[in-house]
Amino acid sequence: MRSMSYHLRRVSVRRYAARTRMVILNSPNNPSGAAYSARDLAALAEVLVRHPDVVVLTDEIYEHLVYDGFETASIAAVDPRLAPRTITCNGMAKGYGMTGWRIGFAGGPRELIRAIADLQSQNVNAPSTIGQHAAVAALDGPQAYLAERAAAYQARRDLAVARLDAIPGLACHRPEGAFYLFPSCAGVIGKCTPDGRRIDTDFDFVTALLDAEAVATVHGGAFGLSPHFRIAGDRLSTGRCAAPRPGHARLRRAHAAAGGLRLRRQPAIDRRRLSWPGHRRIAADPPALGSPGRSLPARDLQLACGAAAGAAGVRPARYARAC
Ligand SMILES: Cc1ncc(COP(=O)(O)O)c(C=O)c1O
């Protein structure tokens, strides 16, 4: 449902800017997957330049996970007038599948970056040396798989959106990026679960999914937007959690039980579209939504670890084996 938009609107920025200290942008976005084009950002920037006290923080950690040829943009580059008060953040966790390595980075005005570094060095652990070297190896290494993986995610997104949209009472927009789906569950509000519990909120709905079928999602209220719920695409197929077909079937069953709605037949999966060259298949049946934590090709991860370990004085071979 392309018409469902989660974009921050120029009119909202205009309305609140005078009372605002910082605008936080996250594109592509967690939880909605919405992404801002250069044109969208230019429109927001046009308002923000008129409010010189507003600092802009932009989190672009999902920049390599975009679909349908979407071109990401960064607000300080789109409108350099904002550069002196924009902090641009990124990190290794999503694009490079390095969740858990805890490496992020930011660029911005010197005094703000200095203040962040001062605060962080006192309050938070410093990023590990090995993590930093691994990040450098990943950033300097081959980048071709980023596009291949985004294409695989796109196929999985299309499959998941089609299936969710076919469930009566749910409506799923088609995210431009990231690996989340954020469907509306407005159609089940007011219905009852088989054991008589009324579903009044998205929280009730996600609880019913969890209770009935062990499908774990996050209610939209946690992100300030009800009645929606977030499905994290990275978790659906790792083997740690439900693979999408059983997961989806469970979701449909739980939803049907909760809403008493008739279900439609689902289209068959074209499995050939769900893996990509050079990558180990993540779940045998069906592979579907991949984990960014596992989506760095094993070979590249080993190279990164080897480089990192070498730089840190650990024997690379030993470290690579441990991975
Ligand atoms: C928008 C966004 N930014 C940053 C992060 C942080 O990633 P990490 O702490 O793993 O580097 C996340 C993780 O979910 C995220 O969704």
| Exposure on the CB side of residue 144, measured as CA atoms within 13 A | 5
* Ligand 1 within 6 A of CB of 168: no
In the block, residue with structure tokens 């942008």: 25
**Token output for 3:** 């018409």
Weakest mean pLDDT among 79-88, 108-117, 254-263: 254-263
Residue 286 has pLDDT above 80, yes or no: no
* Ligand 1 within 6 A of CB of 34: no
Ligand 1: which of 6, 30, 128 to mutate, judged by most atoms within 8 Å of the beta carbon? 30
In DSSP notation, 94-116 reads TTT--TTS--EEEE--HHHHHHH
- In contact, 27 and 176? CB cutoff 8 Å: no
Residue 59 has pLDDT above 90, yes or no: yes
Domains contained in the chain, CATH given: 10-127 (3.40.640.10)
Residue 297 has pLDDT above 50, yes or no: no
* Ligand 1 within 6 A of CB of 99: yes
Q: Where are the beta strands (DSSP E) in 29-103?
A: 55-59, 86-91
Phi, psi of 88 (to 5 degrees): -105, 120
- The arithmetic mean of pLDDT across residues 68-83, rounded, is 97
Residue 243: closest CA among 287, 201, 300: 287
Residue 309 has pLDDT above 60, yes or no: no
**196 CB contacts (<8 Å, ≥6 apart)?**
none
pLDDT of res. 144: 93
pTM across the whole model: 0.73
3-state secondary structure of 216: coil
* pLDDT tens-place string over residues 206-264: 999 999 888 899 999 999 999 999 998 764 443 333 344 556 666 666 666 555 443 33
* Ligand 1 within 6 A of CB of 32: no
